[in-house]
Amino acid sequence: MAFSTAYKKLFGLILFSFIDNLSTQAQSRFPTFEVNEAVTVTVDETEKGIVAKLNNNNNNNNKTVLLKKWKRTLSFIETYDVNNDGYMDLVLNSDEHQSNDALIFLFEPKSSSYRELNYPNHEFSKLIITKQEPGMIISYSNAQEWIKFGFNKQCELYSAGDSQVLHDYELAIHQYQIRMYNVDGSIKSVKLENFEDKNIPIIEVKVPRLRLYNEPGYQAVSNSFVEKGAFLEITAFEGKEWLKIKYKSASETLEQWVNVSELKMDISKLHYKENNNGLNLVMIDPQSGDDRFYFCIALNNYSNKIFESYNGKIYILLENENGNKFLYPLYNTGYLKLPPQNPKDIQANKADEKWFKPGAVLDDNMVQWDVEKKQFVIFHDKSENEDVDEYPYVPFFPDGLSAGIYKISAVFMDRESHLKPLVSNMQQLKLPLKKF
């Protein structure tokens, strides 16, 4: 009788353990993976965030580790020995925004836990991790551009290479560039390809005088220029705004940098001029005694015809205290249609109060500080004229601007409409801005 009771208790404990184990596994919709021969992991989504349940088969030392609270929904999980240390790491994927965003967590054997792997100003997407290149990761930012990562001796990520695409239809530039780097960040090699053919890419200078730079960045301006009609050989590029070029001087072949926007417009002739019979671009005082910076621009049509634009672009023109001007693109405007307007209906005095009624407000947003991206950005909904982006902000300032007082203007450009660059009135800008 005693044996029968003990047997029932033992059977009950086994049954309870089985049901408990079954219910525990049922809580996760993802399979269990091996970390090594002794350890397995199951990933689950909870109210607190994504957790990893680690089970050690040798000593039954089980633990649950909080990985991260992610704004995306997990789609699938993969395991790779990412850093080639003999332990399988977690790659958590989400295809919620059709971009295959990913989180990488490295297994830490000493603490039997996980450490998130990240890289400044980069989110992993469309990962390629292979056994053919141990300790190497390729992360795509779009269909053609990628960053290749490796691990240094401190087991930290470094950029081992990247690819960039430069499509500029106005200048007929269509290039693909691959750069490889040493561990210290120095460039190992640069390979430049032309999409259309294998000829060396050449551009002709069509502005009266083109300013040269010693390196990418507005602070590296030189005292040298090339004149209209000169032919420049492109040897590399940086981002979308800087081209490294070779050109022939009177006695030798030199290599410097040029700014893409300055290839399109004669920066010395960009001045505000009010047009009572045509288009006017207006900028409202961006700071107006406030510490915040509001970018408000409007387009008015004083002509007798409807104005339409399909491929307009807004640029920012800055002039520092030394009189040096800098030009850079901000964003595309998409489709615009402005009927004729009467200047009297736009700006007038009413009961001693001045009011302003623009034809088309192109922007009225605050420039704000993005803590994660560590840059000033402005809201811009790109869904109407570009690919939908889950991050509806664009950088407002280029890197490398020094502190000081600037004159700022907006410039509207649409080459298809055969419109000359339209420059707004100037306002004052004091840098650095406060980080709101």
The domains of the chain, with CATH numbers, are 27-140 (2.40.128), 187-264 (2.30.30), 269-431 (no CATH)
DSSP string of 370-390, one letter each residue: ETTTTEEEEE---TTTS---S
Residue 347: the pLDDT is 61
| pLDDT per position as a tens digit, 283-305 | 988 876 677 899 999 999 999 99
DSSP string of 208-241, one letter each residue: SEEEEESSSSGGGEEEEEEETT-EEEEEEEETTT
Name the strand (E) or helix (H) holding 256.
Answer: strand 253-259
Residue 400: the pLDDT is 85
Model confidence at 3: pLDDT above 70: no
DSSP string of 98-165, one letter each residue: SS-EEEEEEEETTTTEEEEE-BTTB--BSEE--TTSTT-EEEESSSS-EEEEEE-TTS-EEEEEEEEE
Model confidence at 43: pLDDT above 60: yes
Residue 24: the pLDDT is 44
- DSSP 8-state symbol, 37: S
Arithmetic mean of pLDDT, 198-209 = 88
5 CB-near residues (< 8 Å, 6+ apart): none
Q: What share of the chain is helix, strand, coil (3-state, %, to 5)?
A: 10, 50, 40
- ∠ CA 381-384-387, nearest 5°, is 85
Residue 59: the pLDDT is 83
% the chain with pLDDT above 70: 86
CA 26 to chain centre: 39
Q: How confident is the model at residue 416 (pLDDT cuts 50, 70, 90)?
A: confident
| pLDDT per position as a tens digit, 336-386 | 999 998 877 766 554 444 455 677 889 999 999 998 888 999 999 765 544
63 CB-near residues (< 8 Å, 6+ apart): 53, 54, 112, 113
Q: How confident is the model at residue 21 (pLDDT cuts 50, 70, 90)?
A: very low
Q: Which residue type occupies 175?
A: Q
| pLDDT per position as a tens digit, 149-203 | 999 999 899 999 999 999 998 898 999 999 999 999 999 999 998 876 667 789 9
Helix and strand totals (H; E) in the chain? 3, 32
Backbone angles phi, psi at 410, to 5 degrees: -100, 150
Backbone angles phi, psi at 60, to 5 degrees: 55, 30
Query: What gap in Å lies between CA 133 and CA 171, rounded to an integer?
Result: 38
Cα maximum dimension of the chain: 111
